[in-house]
Amino acid sequence: MSSKLLSPFTIRNLGLSNRIMRSATWDGTADETGAVTDRSVAIYRELGSGGIGLIVTGYAFVSHPLGQANPNQYGIYSDVLIPGWKRLVKAVREGGDSRIAMQIVHAGINSVFLVRKGYTLLAVSKLAEVNRPHREMTDDDIEGIINDFTAAAVRVREAGFDAVQLHGAHGYLMSQFASPLFNRRTDRWGGSPENRRRFHVEVVRRIRKAVGKDYPVLIKFGVQDDREGGMSLAEGLETCRQMVDVGIDGIEVSSGVGTSSAVIKEGGSDRPAFRERAAAVKKTVNIPVAVVHGIRSLKMAEEIIDSGDVDMVSMSRPFIREPHLVSRWQRGDIRPATCISCNKCFPILMRGEPLECGEERRLREEANVDN
C-alpha cells in the first residue's frame, strides 16, 4: 500500500518510516521510584513491532518528588533510571523500524496523587480558589525546574532515545505558566503574554544548548485554553513561533487548560478535535506539526495529511487495544481501529492497575464466565 501517510518522513535529521505517531500514554507500569519494569518493556516491545513511525513514551517526571503527577508514573529525574530506559529502547529496536521519543513533564499544581501523600505542591501562583495545599514558586524554584528539564533531556539522549518531547499540554506545569488562569505573577515569569511564555522559551533554549544542534527536541503543546479567561489561540501561536526560534523541532497540538484529555466519547467516530488549531500552527511555523485526538481510521488520517493541515497524525487509545494497528493497515486490512473510545481504560489506571483496554478485559471476563 502506498500513501503519503504511510511513506517515510523526517523530523530534523530523524528518519521515520511513516507519519503516524503513538501519542504519550500513561500506562501505570513504573515502580514506585519511576523506574521501568518488565511490564513496561513488554508494552513497548509490542508497540515497536507494530509499524508505528514514532512512539512517544508515557510522561516521565523530571523532578522528584514534586514533579510527579500520578502513581506508577515513569521518572527521568536521576541517572539511576537510565539503565531501565536503555532496556526499553532496546526492546523497541528489536521489534522493527519504529523510532522512539520520551515525553518529560513536571506536574506543578496538577497532582492529586502528591496531595494524597501529604505534599505541598509547587504552583506558578498562589490561587485562593484552589484547595490543594500549594505555595507559589520562587525564582530559584523556577530556575531549578528548568535545570531539571534540561538534565532530564540529556538523560533521554544518553538512554538512546531518538528524540525528547516536552509535555506542554493538559494543564501540567508548562500549561500553567502559559495560562493567565494559573499564572498571575507580576515578575519576569508572568503578567504579560511575553512573560508567561518565558518558561517555555527558556526550557527549549537550554535543552537545545545541552543536547546539541542535531538532537530532535519536540513538544506536545496546548496551543489554546478552553476556559474563559485562558490563553488565546493568538498567544499560543506566538509561543510556537518563539519556541521554533530557540530550537523546537516539532509540535504535537493538543489541549491546554480546560479540556479533558478524554473528550472523545463512546462510539469511536473520527472527530479530530484539534485539527483547526493544528492547521493554524502549521501556517505559523516551518517545522513538522502533528494533531492528536479522535483519529480512528486510515481514511481520515490520510485525508488530514493530504489536506496539508498537518504533517503527522497522532493516536493514543487505538494503540492500547491494537498495538499493531499500523501494521494491519500496511497489510491492506484498512478497517478502522477497534477502539470504541469507551474510556474503560482510565478506571483501570485509576485503580492502580497497569493500563489495558477495558473493553478487551470485559470481553475476556465474559468469555471466562461462559466457559
| Domain coordinates in residue numbering, the chain | 9-337
Question: Apex CA 35: angle with CA 312 and CA 157, to 5°?
Answer: 50
> Can 119 be counted among the known catalytic residues?
no
CATH fold for the domain made of 9-337: TIM Barrel (3.20.20)
C-alpha–C-alpha distance, residues 201 and 203, integer Å: 6
For the segment 144-165, the average pLDDT, to the nearest whole number, is 98
pLDDT band at 365 (very low <50, low <70, confident <90, very high): confident
Grid cell in block for residue 275: 485539527
pTM score of the predicted model: 0.95
Which residue out of 59, 77, 172, 215 is catalytically annotated? 172
For the segment 236-240, the average pLDDT, to the nearest whole number, is 98
For the segment 260-272, the average pLDDT, to the nearest whole number, is 50
Contact 328, 318 (CB under 8 A): no
Q: Which amino acid is at 79?
A: D
Residues 272-304 pLDDT 10s: 789 999 999 999 999 999 999 889 999 999 999
Q: Assess whether the previous peptide bond of 347 is cis (omega < 30° from 0).
A: no
**C-alpha distances in angstroms, 149 versus 135, 156, 347?**
20, 10, 30
